[in-house]
Amino acid sequence: LPLLLNAEGLKSLLKHAQENNELVVSQKYTEQSKQKELDSANSNYYPTVDAGIFYQRDDDASPFRPGTTYGASVKVGFDIYDGGKKSYTSKQKNSEHTSAMFSYSDTKKSIALAITQDFYNIKSLEASLEAREESSKALKAQLERMLKFYDLKLATNDDIDRLQSAYDSNVFAIDSLKFEILSLKSALELKVGRNIDSLDDSKFKKTLSQQSDELDSIQALRANKTALTNLSETVDSFYYPNIRIEDTYSLYGYQDEPSIGGTPIEQLDNQNTIMATLNMRLIDFGVIGEQKAAIALQADALNEQIKYKSKEQKMQLSLATRRIETVNLNIKSSQSALKSATSALETITKKYNAGIIDNVVYLDALSSHTQAKAFNEKSINDLEIAYAMYYYYNSKNIEEFIK
């Protein structure tokens, strides 16, 4: 009862993972970092304002200059034309931020799918464990019964050895299953970011009428390719002239002012300077050209990845639908097999207890029933995984489809 009350639902696990999984949090910080870079690029459109102070002392000052000069200045600068550097840089950072957002979303969806697979695989293993434990109880009861017969000289060593061997093998299988559950549960806890006691019977909505969207991972690649295109334009802008205007206002103060005949020589108290500059790259011996070629190759590499990922998504969507159909058939088959194995075990157990058949037939029937029961539960859980993969490859948030 406590395990049932504390059972974890898949939806709550996915929600917790999206807020606490380290890989998801890392992508979130990356997205926020790209947003700051975009904000910085957009701020480049505004004028710059610089302020400074200075202090100058000459040990051997000229007769007409003061020995000590100090002052402060304020400079306002603005790029009138930069060949498009700021514009393309802003577009590049915007595309990089878009890519980071898609990568963040893709990481959340990928982690959600991995958690879902672990969730239902654990439930399948737990079903196998339960079947094995039931089988172990039956084997132990039959072994104890056979030992009593042996004491009465109604059973042979061979009868005892067969049951003991089957029981010991089952104990080993149980221990192996417990280790598999522990390993998978540890991996699930790592992805979720917290300890997990037990799992509930979460189910997905069963619908195949979803409109397919492009995977976030592919959209992230497309955004990165766009960023490279804008980076190429930024590099190309270095061939264009850069026109900048600056206005500097300065204040001056003096000590040890020079004088002629007792009359101080007048010095500047303030000065306003306006300067316009034009810079243009004339020769760089192919530096810019090589940079553009390198960027173009990077864009080509991304384009090939996009082609591959698009084909892969199309393939996985086709397989996802086919997988659901196959698992549904598997469930029908496993239910029939379980029904048959249950009926056969009941009949054979009665005959075995009556001494009509030997323990070989009984052990075979018990083994078939154990496998059928575990396989049926696994088929049911495989269907949930199949639908989760279908929603994932349609680029949906799978937690929205949990009942």
Amino acid symbol at 401: F
Longest dimension (CA), the chain: 142
3-state SS record for 29-49: HHHHHHHHHHHHHHHCCCCEE
Query: Helix axis angle, 85-151 relative to 157-192, nearest 10°?
Result: 160
Give the count of alpha carbons within 13 A of 247, CB side only: 4
With 0-12 CB in 10 A as exposed, 13-18 as middle and 19+ as buried, what is 381?
buried
Tokens of 29: 């910080």
pLDDT at position 261 is 65
Domain 2-46+84-241+286-401 has CATH 1.10.220.110: no
Domain ranges of the chain: 2-46+84-241+286-401, 50-81+242-279
Contact 107, 389 (CB under 8 A): no
pLDDT at position 2 is 47
Q: Please name the residues in contact with 119: beta carbons below 8 A apart, sequence gap of 6 or more.
A: 10, 13, 188, 199, 202
Q: Would you write out the chain's pLDDT as a tens digit for each of its 403 residues?
A: 444 456 789 999 999 999 999 999 999 999 999 999 999 999 999 999 999 999 998 877 677 778 889 999 999 999 999 999 999 999 999 999 999 999 999 999 999 999 999 999 999 999 999 999 998 998 898 888 888 888 888 788 888 898 899 999 999 999 999 999 999 999 999 999 999 988 999 999 998 876 889 999 999 999 999 999 999 999 999 889 999 999 999 999 988 777 776 677 788 889 999 999 999 988 888 899 999 999 999 999 999 999 999 999 999 999 999 999 999 999 999 999 999 999 999 999 999 888 888 878 888 898 899 999 999 999 999 999 999 999 999 999 999 999 9
Strands 259-260, 270-279: pairing kind: unpaired
Where b means 16+ CB within 10 Å and e means fewer, 307-330 reads eebeeebeebbeebeebbeebeeb
Instruction: Quote the pTM value.
Output: 0.86
Q: Please name the residues in contact with 247: beta carbons below 8 A apart, sequence gap of 6 or more.
A: 75, 76, 77, 272, 273, 274, 275
**Separation between Cα atoms, residue 335 and residue 343, nearest integer Å:** 12
